[in-house]
Amino acid sequence: MELTRRAVALGGAGLLASAAFSPANALESPLIDPVEAADDFWLAVEAYIYGYPLVTTEMTRRVITNVEKPEGSKGPMGHIIKLREYPNASFKDVTAPNADTLYTTAFIDVAKEPWVLSIPDMKDRYFLFPMLDGWTTVFQVPGKRTTGDGAQSYAITGPGWQGDIPDGVTEYKSPTSIVWILGRIYCDGTPEDYKAVHELQDQCKLVPLSAYGKDWTPPPAKVDPSIDMKTAVRDQVNRMDAIEYFSLLSELMKTNPPTAADADTVAKFAQIGIVPGQDFDKSKLNAAFIKRIPEIAFHRIMLHFKFSDGDVKDINGWGYTTGAGIYGTNYLQRALITAIGLGANRPQDAVYPTSLKSKEGILARAYNGANNYVLTFPKGHLPPVRGFWSITMYNDKYFFVDNPINRYSISARQNLKVNPDGSTDIYIQHESPGADKEANWLPAPKEKFVLMMRLYWPDDSPPSILDGSWVIPPVRKA
């Protein structure tokens, strides 16, 4: 990542535009002059951006696993967490959750021993079980697209592990000791389909390699009362000062090492006290920077959403990327996806177009529930996918919005009504558009909101969002 002083200086207007993602008072004090500030400041900003995914993953792991036994969206390390119904507006564990699949997830630590994940025959149902390392890279993704829907088993091994794998089990090597298995199984949300998916979830098994083939029950965990279980993870990360943040990052890098491709970048961080395998040396960080580094760095991350040099396309008011899941050395892109869509898939599995504003001629205004909007798909122009598509409503913090019909996303499963000319309208507004149009209604809050489209297993033949031959229609005021 090339983080220049000019890049940050040019972001003045963009920083203000992205202030919704930052602490409320982040811009009340004067910005440090990007020309006058010391080189160490900008190096620390770069290090913050570099480490944002690892720190966020760890804080997410702490919150999700800090329970005695699986309950709801949480479960101890090594336990399978089976989300039995769609999340609601109270769900704050992960930004931009979905309401199209039932999560079947787990956090595991493969530092000492591999773990074996067994998936049952999914019987032609769409599913995927992406495996994320500590840096949020999707290093493997078994699922209908990649490995088919038959029964399958995988041994997830840690960095440097060597040993024998049982017959019939495929080895997947993780680059880090932290592994997040973020399985998703499609469900239409009806009681009958919930039951069918629950049966599949109950057949998923996760055991340490030493217990594979044996009768094994995961032990209960001990709850740590010092962990904040109420504040959203992103807010917990963003409120850390630089010393707290870099201390945690350095500790995590002892068992979640940088990749070989990161070597040159990480070597520079020694100048400010960050050396892989060692504790953070806070004496090398200027005390005057402690509060400002996180503020400026997070603003820079969010600025990437608007000024991305191609990483994020902007078409008809929809911003999206085909650069998720695997990031290489594009640390800024990796941090952005962590901030607004933690757990994102590879583009071959899912693309997530996001819209913050409606286009009104040459102007673009933030969505607001005081207005009514409509998205019209022309005849034959519904999203081209081999899995499924949906449009999800979020507030400006990327969390679900409470509404009277408990609908957080809209898709073909709502039996959308088609217009006489073959087009399909999606009504995006706070009040119901009327009983005859309610099937096509995506409820909005009274305040600002954000829209996210999900295209799972997008068609790779034209028309396709992957090559730009399918274009998303704009959202307009009704």
Give SS3 for 324: coil
pTM: predicted TM-score of the whole model, two decimal places: 0.86
The whole-number pLDDT of residue 22 equals: 31
Identify the band that residue 340 occupies on the pLDDT scale cut at 50, 70 and 90.
confident
HEC readout, 71-82: ECCECCCCCCEE
pLDDT digits (tens, 9 = 90+) for 54-83: 999 999 999 999 999 999 889 999 999 999
Cα 205 from chain centre = 24
Strand-pairing partners, residue 206, are: 117
Asked if 115 and 158 touch (Cβ cutoff 8 Å), the reply is no
Asked if 199 and 102 touch (Cβ cutoff 8 Å), the reply is no
Terminal C-alpha separation, the chain: 42
The whole-number pLDDT of residue 347 equals: 97
Which residues fall within 8 angstroms of residue 3, CB to CB, at 6 or more apart? 42, 45, 46, 49, 300, 332
CATH classification (class only), 67-211: mainly beta
HEC readout, 389-426: EEEEEEECCCCECCCCCCCCEECHHHCCCCCCCCCEEE
- pLDDT (mean) for 264-274: 97
The whole-number pLDDT of residue 6 equals: 35
Identify the band that residue 25 occupies on the pLDDT scale cut at 50, 70 and 90.
very low
Higher pLDDT, 326 or 310: 326
- pLDDT (mean) for 241-270: 97
- pLDDT (mean) for 89-100: 82
Proportion of the chain above pLDDT 90, given as a percent: 80
HEC readout, 250-263: HHHCCCCCCCHHHH
Provide CATH 2.60.40.1610 ranges for the chain: 67-211
Residue position matching structure tokens 């009274």: 446
- pLDDT (mean) for 95-123: 94
Identify the band that residue 150 occupies on the pLDDT scale cut at 50, 70 and 90.
very high
Which residues fall within 8 angstroms of residue 219, CB to CB, at 6 or more apart? none
What's the rounded Cα separation, in Å, for the pair 388 and 286?
50
pLDDT digits (tens, 9 = 90+) for 185-224: 999 988 999 999 999 999 999 999 999 999 999 999 999 9
Element (H, E) at 297: helix 292-303
Domain at 314-477, CATH from 2.60.120.560, 3.40.30.10, 2.60.120.600, 3.10.450.350: 2.60.120.600
